[in-house]
Structure 1
Amino acid sequence: MNSQIRSARQTILESAQAIVGAKGFSAVGLNEILQAAAVPKGSFYHYFASKDAFGVVLLDTYFDNYVHGMEQLFSQADVSCYTKLMRYWQAWIDNHTGCTDTGKCLAVKLGAEVSDLSEPMRLALQRGTSRTIDLLATALRQGVQEGSLSIEQDPQSLARRLYALWLGTSVMGKINRTTAPFDEALGLTRQLLGQPEYPANHNDRGTGK
């Protein structure tokens, strides 16, 4: 793939993320995406075999970027795993309640919609969410080892539970249009991590003492 094709393909994906994030997948026509990307009509199939194939690439690209951001956050030095995790969820809240690009929320926006419409896209969502949960589980294990977390569940199981909690919270936030579901989720998350009163913004290492 030469640089021109790669650039046009990336432009389509970047333009589509915001549009699909705002409207959903089924409601968005290819012409709308191509116009936003300033790519000539009819050229879409030069880059993607079908709309479903495009959706798979869109989700895979989204999760690649999402996971990269998580890895950067969790690799911060001289900060406890508890603090890193709480920063992750605070960023989640900010993304869903602030004036941010709606295209950043594809997992929440498309989870229910495309899972019933497209098996390849459902599998892309499954791959992406599994990668996210695995990173959360790793952070949980490290937090237990360093002493900043005190959890009663298996880290992998707790990571799945927490991710499901925050996905559901995001949906309720959309329905209620308030921050109350996020406040409740944040409190429950602190309890599940064994640090209900632990200062999330404390720049510490290890036990934080």
Structure 2
Amino acid sequence: MSIQGFNATGVQEITAAAGVPKGSFYNYFDSKEAFAVAVLTEYWAAVVAEYGAILDQDRKPPLSRIARYFAGLAEFHERRRYAVGCLIGNMALEVTPKSEDVRIKLAAIYREWSTALASCLREAQKKGELSAGKNPEQLAVALIDTFEGAVMRAKVERSRAPFDSFERFVLPSLLT
């Protein structure tokens, strides 16, 4: 699904990749959309496990942690040669018009993501790194939205340039 997309990946391909009979798919999932929700759950858990702790490293300044967090996510896409994109963004574009369950799962992921960033941004405000006039919740959403746009463009261009732009221009302008 990461490579071909949700619609282009059939249940037969999924079960073949898992090495199980096609009929057993429906023993575990009510539908392909239910499978997509499970995949998103696992994907997000892996992202949090790999990068979430960066935001919680108390010994480093909060804004440095946020920059490192997004740099780590950019490196993840670089290792995949920018060809795959973000499963969250891909599913948001491809599946949400047709599946309310997937849309609800994605909305929950975005809320969790923005909550983690907003917490770090509030800490930055308390330490005087971030202007008290900035709204951490709105800023967190803006960071995610612009980063996801960079992911999409990097996928199209197969280039790190959108991440460099995000790191050089977007982060400094939003976080000062």
When the two structures are superposed, what TM-score results if normalisation uses the length of structure 1?
0.76
Paired letter, 1:190: P
Q: Residue 116 of structure 1: SS of its match in structure 2?
A: coil
How far apart in 1 are the matches of 2:50 and 2:85? 12
Contiguous gaps of at least 5 residues in structure 2: none
**2:15 paired residue number:** 34
Q: Which residue does 2:127 correspond to in 1?
A: 146
1:109 aligns with 2:86: no
Q: How far off its partner does 1:191 sit?
A: 2.2
CA contact (8 A) 1:114 1:121 kept: yes
Among all aligned residue pairs of Structure 1 and Structure 2, give the percentage whose two residues are the same amino acid: 33
The CA RMSD measured in Å over matched residues stands at: 2.1
Match of 1:62 among 40, 43, 49: 43
What is the deviation of 1:73?
1.7
Aligned ranges for residues 17-32 of structure 1 at < 5 Å? 20-32=1-13
Aligned to 2:159: 178
Deviation, 1:171, is: 1.1
Contact kept? 1:151, 1:193, Cα under 8 Å? no
The reply on whether 1:132 has 2:113 as its aligned counterpart is: yes
1:151/1:192 contact within 8 Å kept: no
1:193 is aligned to 2:169: no
SS at match of 1:129: helix
CA contact (8 A) 1:67 1:131 kept: no
What's the secondary structure of 2:124's corresponding residue? helix
Q: Is the 8 A contact 2:147 2:166 kept in 1?
A: yes
Does 57-66 or 31-40 show the bigger shift?
57-66
**Within the alignment, does 1:48 sit opposite 2:29 as a pair?**
yes
Mapped to 2, the partners of 1:164 and 1:104 lie a distance apart of 14
- Larger Rg over CA atoms: 1
Q: Secondary structure at the match of 1:21?
A: coil
2:83/2:155 contact within 8 Å kept: no
1:97 counterpart SS class: helix
Aligned with 2:129: secondary structure? Answer: coil
* Offset of residue 62 of structure 1: 2.0
> Does the 8 A contact of 2:118 with 2:136 survive in 1?
yes
Name stretches of at least 5 consecutive residues in structure 1 with no aligned partner.
1-19, 195-209
With structure 2 as the length reference, what TM-score do the two structures score?
0.89
Tell me the distance in 1 between the aligned counterparts of 2:128 and 2:135: 16
Are 2:115 and 2:140, in contact at CA under 8 Å, matched by a contact in 1?
A: yes
Which deviates more from structure 2 when the two are superposed, residues 90-99 or residues 135-144?
Answer: 90-99
